[in-house]
Structure 1
Amino acid sequence: MAREQAALLLARQLKELKKCSMGFSAGLIDDDDLFKWEVVIYGPPDTLYEGGMFKAHLLFPKEYPHRPPKMKFVSDMWHPNIDQDGNVCISILHEPGDDTYGYEKAEERWLPVHTVETICISVISMLADPNDESPANVDAAKMMRESVEEFKKKVTRTVRRSVEDL
């Protein structure tokens, strides 16, 4: 029952996104599976990521929207909040409820009101404003703090590769 409800919700969100989306595009990886999406995030204007077109996958659990999807960039990414394997680490994609480590408030974590659109907008915001206080990629965070020019060069190469790979 939960899987059917999740599939209906995802089908509705896909239909809505085809009408209009800002800063990203989204669709199914496989037309027969509403639980596996591919998104392309466009690097936000006036940021180091501007001009990039970064491909990612969103994998939804059958308990969606009560549990968050996993988001993983398949394009190379160099960002403090995206780990070396491409996994996105932002609060709204963390399991609902209290954070056992006390870093996040429950209302900052996953809530069933989130949609593909709110996830993508949050990721775009994350690209524009990295959080180096709680990094998923410690090397990127350290480089961003200590070697800004080197960080900029590495991100510029990442942006260039993202366009070439698409």
Structure 2
Amino acid sequence: MGDDLNRAKLLLGRQLADFQKTANDGFSAGLIGDDIFRWEVIIIGPPETAYEGGYFKARLTFPKDYPMKPPKLTFISKMWHPNVHSNGDVCISILHEPGDDKYGYEKASERWLPIHTVETILISVISMLADPNDESPANIDAAKMWRESKKEFTKRVAQTVRRSQEEL
């Protein structure tokens, strides 16, 4: 266990350093306090989507055996999205435990792999914002609205975008 913990700390330290060296227009991240296993993230709503202009705060929590197991990403900012639970937890394949999906929805190659980094996770989340998956929703009401009334969905998202801007 000690080796896994040290490996995780080293890897996360390296990923944080790499992350801070390369600027990205879509997101930023830093540690919460000095805990290498807890990061605060800001995800900027992707252009030409309903989320454009939003600054959404989230928390990445890494397990002690990272990268063998995926981190958990939770939006702190209120989100309205088919793939975000009402408590803010993000539900996308890349953050699901490695291996085959017992329900058969996802291929093992779509799920967590130790080669993923903080950057690939955040790029996947931005992609999720731009293109929701309403096939296996975490928020059934948002998925239903997305399918049945894009206008209402967009109006509801606009409220979350405004709220995120006020939180800055």
TM-score clears 0.5 = yes
Residue 27 of structure 2 is matched in structure 1 by: 24
1:30 to partner: Cα distance? 1.2
TM-score normalised by L of structure 1:
0.98
TM-score normalised by L of structure 2:
0.97
Q: Secondary structure at the match of 1:34?
A: strand
Q: Which residue of 88, 94, 109 corresponds with 2:111?
A: 109
1:148 to partner: Cα distance? 1.6
Residue 40 of structure 1 is matched in structure 2 by: 42
Q: Secondary structure at the match of 1:37?
A: strand
Residue 13 of structure 1 is matched in structure 2 by: 15
Q: Aligned partners of 2:103, 2:21: CA distance in 1, in Å?
A: 40
Q: Aligned partners of 1:158, 1:107: CA distance in 2, in Å?
A: 32
1:21 to partner: Cα distance? 3.6
* 1:91/1:109 contact within 8 Å kept: yes
**AA at the equivalent of 1:63:** D
1:72 to partner: Cα distance? 0.3
* 1:21/1:117 contact within 8 Å kept: no
Q: Which residue of 73, 85, 88 corresponds with 1:86?
A: 88
Q: How does 1:57-72 map to 2 (within 5 A)?
A: 57-72=59-74
Gaps of 5+ in 1: none
Percent identity over paired residues: 70
Q: CA RMSD in A?
A: 0.6
Q: Secondary structure at the match of 2:52?
A: coil
1:16 to partner: Cα distance? 0.6
**AA at the equivalent of 2:28:** S
